Structure 1
């Protein structure tokens, strides 16, 4: 945790302190004093060891010897309050347990401590109900932001001492009553139980605590060390823990520290709060952890650290694994925490391209007549698919009931120089390619760079229109759909289904043939509502989507009879919008592909081709977020700085595929051999390689 109590004062109202002990060197407050006026010769130097031992448990030094206190750099304000002559060397016939403390003196000490900078007051004292004056003194100290810690008592009773209960009654949650547990975590036999003080009761180790001290050293007799026990030594552990919290989070009041320690206590005994262990056992680590719903500093938008900060998209590959996005978040107590938000991002899973090419049961149905063509892809995964198919070339009744139209396309020639097309669940790129008369090679795994937007998304509807102007063709296209987050978090999946992340795209392209060379040049605009190139960010970032502009260039050259060379290049720039973004936020992307194909290899209409490609990849730019990076408790304000989130992956996928397709056994067959280097743009992933075979036949 890195906190030691430095700068925090713990007032120990007790029998004084060993001022010469090396355990407190330089850390006994100048405000330490004997609370009895007129007893000038006594001072705070203890003649009884109770106050010293209590102070040791709270704040013994980290000096390589002796014991280590809970808050080893805290300052001790020793306020001696034992009645003169009642204990220690002042009365050699008495034992430590006979020391007496007047309520009025304790009240004066509490008031004095609160007035002179103590953040925590430890009362390892007990007895009957406190006086009204002492209760008021404690209440005033709590109202001033001080935490008061009181021992529960050592009588093994069902309730804490009346002294502790009466102080907690009217102190607005700023008093903690501390009981004792043994080494095994069970309640100490001598410790008073929570009983009537359940809501303000917490446990700490008080059974056999090391060690009795004398003259600044652990006391030994004939090689034997003597251990301490009692709720008197459980209480300063809680006081020390409170000092650690007060140093780390100076905005906390004593009452807030009390509530924090109570609600983060480790449950013990019966489930929940009970009359034995109260709220449970002190758990310092949990008390330091953020509580409740966190938010970015100076923001009202919830930003839970347990939630995903975002999910990236395929074009970003493994980028997030090396990214850093520093910020300050506040918990429900307005405590500031430095976090790396990028650590709670999730990378997009690597697509299984071969599975996508081969999986699923569908049937293609199409027809063409004159100036119109119609094509549908029909889901045939129901039981009807397995029934015998006989009769005419149409779906039987039971097939039609089981089938579902997955995608469809209609194209029409309205005039010799004008064509239009409509599609659902198909991209506008494929529709435009048909209108342009492109004869693209068919590969199972390696895609052409044209139309690769690096995003998991679906298409609802698409439209395209092409007009011929002499040798030139102009094609306009548009489509709408939604981005899909392939997250592994089921909670996020449910949220995604409830919130449609709409995406729209628009494009223009010019195409022309120059003899055996076909060319196309296009511009595309993708407009996303809530995502950035398919990546999703937590609502706390306030992003309002993004726009991506792609420039596409394609060429195909029939350089010899039955031979064709093809190439495609896509360059993109994504500009996110809104939220915490600073100027200069943009992502640069690139995809390319080269292929060679030969027709008529083994038969008149078969084809074989080879393609090498790089799928769309972020290769530059960053998202610049204006985030809180430091927090000032004095002014309750944050300092902001621009933090850049690079989404350029370390890996670079390069894909090669050798593919054949043609007629076989009265059907159509395809075969593919492929190799993917650093698949999904993940540098550490092994190569993905395989063989795919597909055969289909119409009925």
Structure 2
């Protein structure tokens, strides 16, 4: 919405206000403490000009044509809060002087709307004015204003008070109360304002005005901590005398309404009390002069742009309030601002694009409880980045060399020994990283198949592949070397994570076999979270997602053909289809996907085999309390692969393969969200709306991959791999990706 101070009442404790300008309809009823009478709305009460000048700086309308009276009003007077209401509180006569008793009465009236001084600690529902501008002062008020200011602050008002024009080291009264009352329960609602002279719009061009009083010694007084500076030299504004009267004046009186106008903008948009408004303005000030709070500029130069942006002092980023659906209340998720992508919401590529396309925005709050619209699209992350495929490509090539099998009577041990994982590519420019780290090889994966009898067998695997025992086991596609989403794997068995499994099989007859297995794995999304180094696992803040699958497989195998069908269920904790999320986007405490998988591999002659795989899953309707996701519909997902492998192509024991693949994708389904939309400032409660979004993408990713492996010795080999991705991450706006890699490796 438009931020112009509309609806905010700003009291101007001064000489009165000229009613002949465009802000006349916003000139509310006030009180004249010099003549002891009420001032009606839209009535001229200024016979000096000072109060009108201050009022114009606060709230003169945009393009009011005071000077030019033409359509080109760009150089005319415009206030900081051109929609604010102005309330004349006249305490100075036509000669610009008055008594502190009248000032105290005026401040009291600004709070309670009465000329009778109220007892200390008196509270009301809403003060007469929200912001009070006091552009006046003297050496001392003798304590006259203390009670009135205390009441005003305790009732939620903000006071912007001029520091004075003596060129002194400290503010005069009443601005000096910023350093005394602000140390009591009134902390932070009185701002002393000094003036700077600026030669341009840059903060670096501003310096303390010669006439302005300074903030004071930080070792002798607390005033510098409640002291701001603002432009106060040669300020053009409205004046007294006519509808076109203007004047160019200088002084802390001119700097103070700049702060008051800024406060009005914050008050309008977020309805904050005076203490919070003051804290925001002081916290976001631009530091000029000596670093930190100093004797001259205090907290620094008013920075309205920064004050309107989210402020994080104690928290690390935006806080999103999530409705607690059971029992009422709210939960809070804080997003990190440590990286350019804020926090990470790790989601499966099966539905990431659909979520991004939904352009989901939520209301998030900063440290001062102000709500902002925050778009979540930039937070969704998956492992399917260009660097991810490069890493997987080299990892697969390494395993072509490093994977060995030891076959004895009744058992088969498959294992991989490689050096600890290195980062081959820099995330910014894909440049090669040179590493001098030398480490001993270590066991990367292992599986052991043991024949218990002529008809029964069992298996056990760590960080390995179930195809060594199930699915395409005992065919060339058992370890085919394809890397795109582990092309011929069942994606529901760990969602392409590292698989730890155990299984048992029993023959029905010579050709048919029945087997059962349990798979447990960690989601790789928890390992590729860091934006600066997506392969670093030690700094991840995402929860490790435990994925457990159980399945039953029926297979038939002959010398030249194998067919397998399996039925199973995968249980995920705190995620959906491989997406490992934080509580903000927790899909469910546990999601259950039932799946069916069909696989067939056939020898079509000599050393040439073809294979096909189809997988489909049904994720049951579920939800998560205390999450943006209140529930989901049943989700249908699928993947498929077709491939060919030929051995002994150019040389003995070499291997060529080509595959066509559709990675796992949601074909139908939706999420029901409870989305925070903004604060109700009357009640202080976050408001929510229900929203339904489809997570089925409009485009489907397709991949083509070819690889060739040539063993050059028993311990070395050459690998060549090429990948072509169409609609990466199921997004037709993503350019196609083409990657070619050559790798030679030898073990010593």
Measured against the shorter chain, the TM-score band is 0.7 to 0.9
1:327 to 357, 362, 367: 362
1:287 to 294, 307, 325: 307
1:424 pairs with 2:462: yes
1:461 to 500, 504, 510: 500
- TM alignment of 1:84-163, pairs within 5 A: 87=95, 99-116=96-113, 117-163=128-174
Deviation, 1:559, is 5.7
8 A Cα contact 1:32 1:44, kept in partner: no
Aligned to 1:95: none
* Larger displacement relative to structure 2 (587-596 or 116-125): 587-596
RMSD of aligned Cα (Å): 3.5
The SS at the match of 2:334 is coil
8 A Cα contact 1:324 1:343, kept in partner: no
Task: Kindly provide the CA deviation profile for residues 208-258 of structure 1, in whole angstroms up to 9, marking residues without a partner as x.
Answer: 1124645456658xxxxx5211000111111111111111111x2112211
- Structure 2 residue runs of 5 or longer lacking an equivalent are 66-75, 114-127, 199-204, 322-328, 422-438
- Structure 1 residue runs of 5 or longer lacking an equivalent are 88-98, 221-225, 383-400
* Larger displacement relative to structure 2 (304-313 or 65-74): 304-313
| TM-score normalised over the length of structure 1 | 0.85
Paired residue total: 660
Residues 101, 573 of structure 1: CA spacing in aligned structure 2 closer, same or farther, 3 A cutoff?
A: farther
Aligned to 1:90: none
Task: Kindly provide the CA deviation profile for residues 440-466 of structure 1, in whole angstroms up to 9, marking residues without a partner as x.
Answer: 273544554442359776436321211
2:688 to 629, 637, 640: 640
1:571 pairs with 2:616: yes
* Larger displacement relative to structure 2 (148-157 or 615-624): 615-624
8 A Cα contact 1:315 1:455, kept in partner: no
8 A Cα contact 1:457 1:482, kept in partner: no
More helix by share: 1
- TM alignment of 1:587-598, pairs within 5 A: 587-596=635-644
1:402 to 440, 450, 455: 440
1:204 pairs with 2:230: yes
8 A Cα contact 1:35 1:108, kept in partner: no
Aligned to 1:411: 449
8 A Cα contact 1:427 1:479, kept in partner: no
Rounded to whole Å, the distance in 1 between the matches of 2:44 and 2:310 is 39
Aligned to 2:700: 652
8 A Cα contact 2:476 2:609, kept in partner: no
* Larger displacement relative to structure 2 (233-242 or 538-547): 538-547
Deviation, 1:418, is 0.7
Rounded to whole Å, the distance in 2 between the matches of 1:517 and 1:655 is 25
8 A Cα contact 2:39 2:88, kept in partner: no
2:193 to 178, 183, 186: 178
8 A Cα contact 2:266 2:308, kept in partner: yes
8 A Cα contact 1:443 1:657, kept in partner: no
8 A Cα contact 2:624 2:630, kept in partner: no
Task: Kindly provide the CA deviation profile for residues 290-347 of structure 1, in whole angstroms up to 9, marking residues without a partner as x.
Answer: 2333433353424236331512334346445423223222333222223223333334
- TM alignment of 1:6-155, pairs within 5 A: 6-22=6-22, 24-33=23-32, 35-37=34-36, 44-65=44-65, 66-83=76-93, 87=95, 99-116=96-113, 117-155=128-166
Rounded to whole Å, the distance in 2 between the matches of 1:238 and 1:282 is 7
Q: Tell me which structure has the larger Cα radius of gyration.
A: 1
Rounded to whole Å, the distance in 2 between the matches of 1:214 and 1:380 is 83
Aligned to 2:520: 480
Aligned to 1:338: 373
- TM alignment of 1:576-615, pairs within 5 A: 578-579=624-625, 580=627, 581-585=629-633, 587-596=635-644, 609-615=657-663
Deviation, 1:598, is 5.6
The SS at the match of 2:103 is helix
8 A Cα contact 1:130 1:167, kept in partner: no
1:310 pairs with 2:345: yes
Residues 646, 494 of structure 1: CA spacing in aligned structure 2 closer, same or farther, 3 A cutoff?
A: farther
